């Protein structure tokens, strides 16, 4: 496993990390969760990602139970949570959502309890909240860090201008600025990481913990010949994923993925490994968060780091020569 600094911070994160978004579905299985976490940890992964909204908090409960059962030294791994959407679903009250000081504090302590840890290494504002003054959110995050409840705070899917505004507020009032951003980044979704944030990497030392490097499974190649019955796109509640495979845009995406699949085959690897390794070739990616529901998937994905030496300039040129114009939807 390789490790990179999280932006300009001194924290080193594994280049591939493990997220629990897809892990919780229906009945929690602590033994399966532990097996997946262990497969990642044994491969050198040191960062595990979660959020209050995943399974309405139950994903964090599951991760916390698995981490407690694993018994690893707390100084050997990093955990994160995200605040914005709450953990009460449609029954959420106004104070149980958003980025107000109250909800930022409450959600942090609830995540700490669910994850069965003493503090959060990383704490993200899951989306912007236009109803809360930005200074209030920056102050709340700063206070949590000063209390020792959080070590680093960041944003997720925030526009570059808003990240810069948060940074300037922090500098103006001697507060702590955001360290990292968690955007979507994959072969089909590139603009924000490669263009919109381009100036922030050097200007403020922004780190990135990119999510969906496999585009929720789209770029794995499993949909090249149709939608398998056990695939994510077949599951209730994920109709949006199936829609990305339909119509002219869906066909364009599949055509591009088939071309990339041929390159993967020529390199003697799998499409998931190629897609992950492609993300890691971007030096501005601190870590790519992969999701998996089986230990063998975790093992395969972690092996993507071994592919990096094969992604020469010529290979990268072949991959990037496949046009994604009209495919990406930001």
pLDDT at 27: 63
The verdict on residue 266 lying in a domain is no
pLDDT above 70 for 325: no
183 phi-psi bin (left φ>0, alpha ψ -120 to 50, beta other): beta
β-bridge pairing 3-5 and 12-14: antiparallel
pLDDT at 25: 58
CB 197 within 8 A of CB 160: yes
* Least confidently predicted of 17-31, 48-62, 273-287, 307-321: 17-31
83 phi and psi angles, rounded to 5 deg = -125, 140
Domain-located, residue 124: yes
Instruction: Find the catalytic residue in 41, 54, 77, 123.
Output: 54
**Short-list 117, 130, 98, CA closest to 48:** 117
Question: Average pLDDT for residues 259-277, to the nearest whole number?
Answer: 96
Residue 253 lies in a domain: no
SS3 content of the chain, % helix, strand, coil (to 5): 50, 15, 35
Number of domains forming the structure of the chain: 1
Q: What is the pLDDT of residues 108-149, one digit of tens each?
A: 999 999 999 999 999 999 999 999 999 999 999 999 999 999
Residue 265, in any domain of the structure: no
Q: For position 192, which CATH number holds?
A: 3.20.20.100
Domain assignment of residue 13, yes or no: yes
Tokens of 26: 């229906």
Establish if 300 belongs to a structural domain: yes
Q: Report how far residue 158's alpha carbon sits from residue 177's, in angstroms, rounded to the nearest whole number.
A: 14
Residue 184's pLDDT band, with cuts at 50, 70 and 90, is very high
pLDDT at residue 23 tops 90: no
DSSP state of 195: I
As given in the structure block, the two tokens for residue 164 are 């810069």
Mean pLDDT to the nearest integer, 205-233: 87
What would the two tokens of residue 121 be? 């290494």
Q: Is residue 247 part of a domain?
A: no
Question: How much is the pLDDT for 18?
Answer: 97
d(C-alpha 106, C-alpha 86), whole Å: 10
Domain limits at 168?
3-225+271-309
Which pLDDT band holds residue 84 (cuts at 50, 70, 90)?
A: very high
- Flag whether 249 is in a domain: no
| 119 a catalytic residue | no
Mean pLDDT of the chain: 93
């Amino acid at each position: 496993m390789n490790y990179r600094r999280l932006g300009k911070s001194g924290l080193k994160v594994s280049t591939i990390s493990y997220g629990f978004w897809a892990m919780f579905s229906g009945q929690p299985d602590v033994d399966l969760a532990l097996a997946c976490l262990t497969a990642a940890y044994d491969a050198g992964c040191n960062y595990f990602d979660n959020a209050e909204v995943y399974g309405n908090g139950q994903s964090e409960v599951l991760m916390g139970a698995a981490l407690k059962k694993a018994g690893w030294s707390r100084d050997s791994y990093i955990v994160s949570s995200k605040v914005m959407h709450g953990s009460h679903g449609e029954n959420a009250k106004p104070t149980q959502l958003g980025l107000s000081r109250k909800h930022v504090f409450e959600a942090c302590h609830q995540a700490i309890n669910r994850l069965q840890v003493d503090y959060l290494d990383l704490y993200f504002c899951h989306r912007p909240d236009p109803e809360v003054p930005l200074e209030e959110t920056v102050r709340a995050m700063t206070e949590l860090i000063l209390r020792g409840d959080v070590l680093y705070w960041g944003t997720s899917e925030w526009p570059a201008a808003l990240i810069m505004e948060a940074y300037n507020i922090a500098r103006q009032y001697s507060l702590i600025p955001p360290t990292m951003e968690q955007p979507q980044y994959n072969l089909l979704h590139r603009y924000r990481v490669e263009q919109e944030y381009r100036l922030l990497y050097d200007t403020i030392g922004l780190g990135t913990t990119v999510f969906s490097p496999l585009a929720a499974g789209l770029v794995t190649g499993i949909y090249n010949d149709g939608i398998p019955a056990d695939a994510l796109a077949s599951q209730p509640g994920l109709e949006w994923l199936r829609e990305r495979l339909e119509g002219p845009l869906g066909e364009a995406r599949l055509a591009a993925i088939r071309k990339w699949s041929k390159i993967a085959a020529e390199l003697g690897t799998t499409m998931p490994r190629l897609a992950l390794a492609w993300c890691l070739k971007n030096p501005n990616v601190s870590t790519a968060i992969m999701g998996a529901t089986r230990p063998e998937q975790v093992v395969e994905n972690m092996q993507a780091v071994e592919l990096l030496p094969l992604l020469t300039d010529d290979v990268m040129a072949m991959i990037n020569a496949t046009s994604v114009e009209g495919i990406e939807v930001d």
